[in-house]
Amino acid sequence: METKLYQYETAFELSTKRIEEERLGETLAVQRPAHVRANGKRFYIESYGCQMNFADSEVVASILANAGYDSTTDYLQADVILINTCAIREHAEQRVRNRLQTFNAVKKRNKGALVGVLGCMAERLKEKFLEEEKIVDIVAGPDAYRSLPALIEEAETGQKAVNVLLSREETYAEINPVRLNSNGVTAFISIMRGCDNMCSFCVVPLTRGRERSRDYRTIVAEARDLYAQGYREVTLLGQNVDSYRYSDDKTLVGKKLVDAKYSDGVVNFARLLEMVANIAPDLRVRFSTSHPKDMTDDVLHVMAQYDNICKYIHLPVQSGNSRILGLMNRTYDREWYLERIRAIRRIVPEAAISTDIIAGFCTETEEEHRDTLRLMEEVRYSMAYMFIYSERPGTPAAKRYRDDVPEEVKKRRLHEIIELQLKHSLESNRADVGKTFEVLIEGTSARSAHHWYGRNSQNKVVVFPKGDYCPGQYANVKITDCTSATLLGEVV
């Protein structure tokens, strides 16, 4: 049980690590465009946190490649070591600080090497980072990546270089990300940046700024390009994809933009999803993350209509208790959330649903915690990312409420949530034994060289004997066995 508990406690970090692991050994070198002259310097980049962050690192790699840099996957060889950081929980930040110690040793050996901190932790700490971590030369927030070549030049003169300006417009729309460590089959596409939701526990609005949507034409072009290169699955990424809204008319802002119609030239998430799904029937489309307050039936109907839109929705609930949801400023209550679940079951009956849950938010009582367990019983998620509440400096919750649930109580509640989810995941997977799924093959299983792993439409990992297939192909796999995390099967 110990290992499983650990697995789920750090599930969020693990899910990104899993991506890293799955891609390991298939590392592609970053290609400098043919017309760009090499500047003789190499960068190394390492990413933590959410999928958005991994997607951002690909934008950074593209910006540096266009400035003449080559990449290296060995930080000992790098002239510039970049670490793209996450600030969502204290634990995530601690991992980054530990990693900086390792880079410190490199700097002692290679005096010229520069260390740059990017992303959410850079944005949160700003110049303070330079005081706290003496080895850091460059600090760049999520909207400052275009200035990275200039920041590196500045740092080369011996000065510390900082750009943490947040933007209302930057979407890196026309930058074609360089796919780092790609499996060549699945890719992420950022469709928007920032977040306007102000959930009281969350540091993201502070680190990633105001919400803005990327021009749909550049999104569709990027997906088309990936398909032409052989990719067969794209995941549309945003902090809150359901509030995607794009218009060329820049006078449409705020409420005016929200109220405007498709006929006014406004593209919402349902329309965008449709455009990407129409690229090719064998290009799968996924998206993440949905916010229950914005997830419309319109999106669900589009999902139901297109076979290539995966039948999987990640719908973070955070808590099953309406008072706690109010304190979290989630702007929905338990009943609203359950109504959205019913809408999914009605319109997309085969959809798998997963969630995020926070245990031990400020003032949460035992009874309120049990509301979360009861909600889980009612929904029966196929999978969940579960966390202990971690107070983040500067957030509304840190300012307004006391983090008063004792650590042991938080841990025990998380443990109960994990236990229940393990049971539900196993039940959900057992119900799939005997069924046949179309699986997109992503690569060799981490456990066995003779097996492929891929995912079905419901986002469940399926492992099966290799046969004559190869990555990027679809295989029909009949499920013969399972664990709580994986389906095992054979091609039929």
**Residue ranges binding ligand 5AD (CB under 6 A):** 12, 88-89, 201-202, 316, 318, 356, 358, 387, 389-390, 392
Binder among 23, 193, 208, 286 for ligand SF4 (CB under 6 A): 208
Question: Closest separation between CB of residue 237 and ligand SF4, Å?
Answer: 10
Q: Which does 52 bind (CB under 5 to 8 A by kind): ligand SF4, ligand 5AD, none?
A: ligand SF4
- Give dist(CA 420, CA 416) in Å, integer: 6
- In the chain, what is the straight-line distance between the N-terminal and C-terminal CA atoms, in Å? 34
Binder among 86, 180, 299, 405 for ligand SF4 (CB under 6 A): 86
Q: Residue 336 contacts by C-beta under 8 Å, 6 or more apart in sequence?
A: 292, 293
Count CA atoms within 13 Å of residue 190 on its CB side.
Answer: 28
Contacts with ligand SF4, 96-125, as mask; x by CB under 6 A: -----------------------xx-----
| 140 contributes a contact to ligand SF4 by CB under 6 A | no
Say which residue the tokens 């989810």 belong to: 421
Q: Which does 392 bind (CB under 5 to 8 A by kind): ligand SF4, ligand 5AD, none?
A: ligand 5AD
- Give dist(CA 269, CA 315) in Å, integer: 15
Taking the least distance from each CB to ligand 5AD, the nearer of 320 and 443 is 320
Burial letters for 297-334: b for 16+ Cβ neighbours within 10 Å, e otherwise?
Answer: eebbebbbebebbbbbbbbbbbbbbbebbebbebebeb
- Interacting span for ligand SF4 (CB under 6 A) from 38-46, 49-57, 150-158, 313-321: 49-57
- Give dist(CA 124, CA 392) in Å, integer: 10
Cis upstream peptide for 289 (omega within 30°): yes
Q: Which does 389 bind (CB under 5 to 8 A by kind): ligand SF4, ligand 5AD, none?
A: ligand 5AD
Taking the least distance from each CB to ligand SF4, the nearer of 110 and 167 is 167
Measured torsion, CA atoms of residues 442, 446, 451, 457, in degrees rounded to the nearest 10:
-40
Give the helix ranges, DSSP H, for 24-76.
51-66
State the residue number with the nearest CB to ligand 5AD: 356
Question: Closest separation between CB of residue 417 and ligand 5AD, Å?
Answer: 12
Taking the least distance from each CB to ligand SF4, the nearer of 20 and 298 is 20
Taking the least distance from each CB to ligand SF4, the nearer of 49 and 489 is 49
| 139 contributes a contact to ligand SF4 by CB under 6 A | no
Count CA atoms within 13 Å of residue 99 on its CB side.
Answer: 20
Binder among 87, 237, 384, 487 for ligand SF4 (CB under 6 A): 87
Binder among 8, 13, 30, 53 for ligand SF4 (CB under 6 A): 53
Q: Which does 356 bind (CB under 5 to 8 A by kind): ligand SF4, ligand 5AD, none?
A: ligand 5AD
Contacts with ligand SF4, 188-207, as mask; x by CB under 6 A: ---------------xx--x
| 288 contributes a contact to ligand SF4 by CB under 6 A | no
- Interacting span for ligand SF4 (CB under 6 A) from 81-89, 94-102, 375-383, 421-429: 81-89
Q: Which amino acid is at 18?
A: R
Q: What is the largest CA-CA distance in the chain?
A: 64
| SS3 letters across 261-290 | CHHHCCEEHHHHHHHHHCCCCCCEEEEECC
Q: Which does 267 bind (CB under 5 to 8 A by kind): ligand SF4, ligand 5AD, none?
A: none
Helices (H) and strands (E) in the chain, counts: 17, 21
Q: Which does 63 bind (CB under 5 to 8 A by kind): ligand SF4, ligand 5AD, none?
A: none
Question: Closest separation between CB of residue 491 and ligand SF4, Å?
Answer: 37
Question: Closest separation between CB of residue 271 and ligand 5AD, Å?
Answer: 26
- Give dist(CA 417, CA 371) in Å, integer: 11
Q: Which amino acid is at 277?
A: A
3-state SS class at 24: coil
127: closest CA among 173, 94, 150, 160?
160
Taking the least distance from each CB to ligand 5AD, the nearer of 144 and 204 is 204
Q: Which residues bind ligand SF4 (CB under 6 A)?
A: 49-50, 52-53, 86-88, 119-120, 203-204, 207-208
